[in-house]
Amino acid sequence: MATHPAQPQTPAPGDSYVQSFARGLQVIRSFSANAPHQTLSEVAAGSGLTRAGARRILLTLQTLGYVVTDGKLFTLTPRILDLGFAYLSSMPIWNRAEPVMEALVQQVQESCSAAVLDATDIVYVLRVPTKKIMHINLGVGSRLPAYCTSLGRLLLADLDDDEVRARLEASNIEALTKHTLTDIDALMAKVAQARKQQWCLVNQELEEGLISVAAPVVDRQGRMVAALNISGQANRTSAKAMQETMLPALREAADRVSRML
């Protein structure tokens, strides 16, 4: 369900752009669920490098312990997680937010996630699943498009209208279900509504049967730094019930997390 992250831009090399570094990051990103073990040629093809260039990057990654090889196939090591961990540990708020989110999950018996905005996507930074059988498997670091998610529309609402429109225009908008809004003006109106009411509900626009509602995490300067959501199944909980019974608890949890900032 997660969309592929946008490819990084690759501007021309210059005084202030270290192309070999950018290429190295592309090599890391060339590994995926579909390509967990790659030959040198596959890495070169997947990252747009020559074989010689890919080889130097892979050997550097191997020297640093980020890649292992059996001589033919290259595989990432868990040390790669240190790079993402540098980001997560630089946001220590999530350690303290987790108990608040867990208490909310206990109360409403639906999953709770925290996400931030990155260009046209939301990126999950924390996820507390329920113990119910149906739950959506979206780990930390996974992405969804902003335009069709409650977290995304709410996070977009913290930007000014020109920027919202630019992000929507840069999005790959598709009718993922029969409910998905695909018209940019209609989406702008939903974002404006989210901005006004300071919460956002999206009813089965990402996936049939999935409803989610989001509330903002706001820092002392009034900037929305993240959003929390609750997501549930339409056959268990209607959108109306979610708004009436779960939204107040969600907003209270989001306010508690905001006060920790």
Q: Which of 41, 106, 197, 245 binds a second copy (CB under 8 A)?
A: 106
Q: Provide the token pair at 33.
A: 């669920």
45 near a second copy (CB under 8 A): no
DSSP assigned state of 223: -
Our CB check for a second copy shows the closer of 17 and 186 to be 17
142 near a second copy (CB under 8 A): yes
28 near a second copy (CB under 8 A): yes
215 near a second copy (CB under 8 A): no
Answer for the pair 164, 191: CB distance below 8 angstroms, yes or no. yes
Closest CA to 150 of 108, 114, 101: 114
Tell me phi and psi for residue 231, to 5 degrees. Answer: -125, 145
Is the four-CA dihedral 222, 227, 228, 229 of positive or negative sign?
positive
Point out which span in 83-91, 165-173, 182-190, 230-238 binds a second copy (CB under 8 A): 83-91
Our CB check for a second copy shows the closer of 21 and 161 to be 21
Q: Provide the token pair at 192.
A: 């404006």
Report the DSSP pairing between strands 121-128 and 143-145: antiparallel
Residues that bind a second copy (CB under 8 A): 5, 8-9, 11, 15-18, 20-25, 28-33, 35-36, 55-57, 59-60, 63-66, 75-92, 94-95, 98, 102, 105-106, 116, 118-119, 123, 125, 129, 131, 137, 139-142
